[in-house]
Amino acid sequence: MQSSNKSSVKTALNEKEGFHIWWRLLRPHTLTASFVPVFVGSMFALTEQALDPWLFAAMMLASILIQAATNMFNEYYDFKRGLDNEDSVGIGGSIVRDGISPRTILNLALAFFGIAILLGIYISAASSWWIAVIGAASMLIGYLYTGGPLPIAYTPFGELFSGFLMGTVIISISYFIQTLQMNWSIILISLPTAIFIGAIMMSNNIRDLDNDKENGRKTLAILLGQKNAIRFLGGMFTVAYLLTLVNIFIGVLPLWSLITLLSVPKAIDVLKKFHGKKHPLEMMPAMAATGKTNTIYGLLLGISLLLRVFTN
């Protein structure tokens, strides 16, 4: 019976064997939270005629590695705490369905962190050693997100931490290492992306609300309840787009950035996919659509900044 349940969940999630096991472990739908901020921050630096391709590549790879490692820590510690089982859909499933050793996943996460540290040393040497301090703090928070005695992901502050660190901090660092300066413009530009990244976490928590509640978590989605959490998610999208329009109006972003509004239908699609759904499997498309919303918005924002460069 247990084997049958495992097989049915794998089939429902369309989980394949081989390379796909390791690909799922990275939770690719969440990696948009790592590459979009680097792209946006770097493209804003390019508008000021500053872009070192090697620093850009190092920052992009380091950000992706840290996000992937955080996902692995999540899988490892949730399994150790007994939160994941063969029916859990919000995970890579590498431990509970694919039989990968928890120790292997933990070691792989630490190896990813190690490579990110080496890249961070290169980035810091080429820019400022303050980047090493900020990077170390970010990695610690990434670990504490699901590790430690009181994981951040188990509190109502998961969206705030993920949005601020992966949005505002990563965008700001990506800009700073290219220009060696900071200003309020990059902070303002980062805010919508930070909200979209927080929305990915909110979607995740809406999907996992019942299971999280049973296991003693106190996420924002649990405190609000499913219906209000979906409304809150819609409010997050609305604020993100309004802030984008404000940034255009005050001249921080070019008029070209209106193309980011092309991502609005995907944000609306997220809310439609959540509407009336009760089971985690049913909400998986909404979760995936949230990540796509951030990707489309971020890529369009970066393209609009490129257009500013080419049309000036």
In this prediction, residue 100 carries a pLDDT of 83
The Cα 76–Cα 102 span in angstroms is 6
- For residue 305, count CB atoms less than 10 angstroms from its CB and return exposed for 0-12, middle for 13-18, buried for 19 or more: buried
Decide if pLDDT at 105 tops 60. yes
Q: What is the pLDDT of residues 143-152, one digit of tens each?
A: 888 777 788 8
pLDDT for the residue numbered 124: 95
Closest CA to 198 of 293, 279, 89: 293
Cα 261 to Cα 29, 155, 299, distances in angstroms: 21, 32, 12
pLDDT grade, residue 5 (50/70/90)? very low
| pLDDT tops 60 at residue 209 | yes
Query: Phi/psi class of residue 147: alpha, beta or left (left: φ > 0; alpha: ψ in -120 to 50)?
Result: beta
DSSP one-letter code for 252: S
Nearest Cα residue to 232 out of 281, 199, 265, 277: 199
- With CA atoms as reference, report the closest residue to 37 among 158, 195, 265, 181: 195
Share of the chain above pLDDT 90, in %: 59
> Which range is least confidently modeled, 23-27, 93-97, 221-225?
93-97
Contact between 298 and 196 (Cβ < 8 Å):
yes
**What's the alpha-carbon Rg for the chain, to the nearest Å?**
19
Tokens of 191: 């805010």
88 pLDDT exceeds 70?
no
Mean pLDDT of the chain: 88
Q: pLDDT tens digit string along 15-64?
A: 566 667 777 777 887 888 899 999 999 999 999 888 999 999 999 999 99
Q: How far apart are CA 311 and CA 190, in angstroms?
A: 23
pLDDT band at 298 (very low <50, low <70, confident <90, very high): very high
pLDDT for res 259: 98
Q: How confident is the model at residue 2 (pLDDT cuts 50, 70, 90)?
A: very low
Contact of 123 with 131, CB cutoff 8 Å: yes
Q: Is the dihedral of CA 77, 217, 13, 286 positive or negative?
A: negative
| Start-end of H helices in the chain | 2-12, 19-25, 32-46, 53-80, 102-126, 130-144, 158-163, 170-179, 184-207, 209-214, 220-224, 226-249, 264-274, 280-311
Residue 149 burial by CB count (10 A; 0-12/13-18/19+): exposed, middle or buried? exposed
Phi, psi for 215 (deg, rounded to 5)? -100, 15
pTM (global) more than 0.85: yes
pLDDT band at 193 (very low <50, low <70, confident <90, very high): very high
Which residues lie closer than 8 Å to 120 by C-beta, 6 or more apart?
62, 131, 132, 135, 136
To which residue do tokens 């951040």 refer? 152
pLDDT grade for 190, boundaries at 50, 70 and 90: very high
pLDDT, position 10: 57
Q: Is the pLDDT of residue 191 over 50?
A: yes
* Under 8 Å between Cβ of 90 and 202: no
pLDDT number for residue 102: 86
What residue ranges define each of the domains in the chain, with the CATH number in brackets? 34-311 (1.10.600)
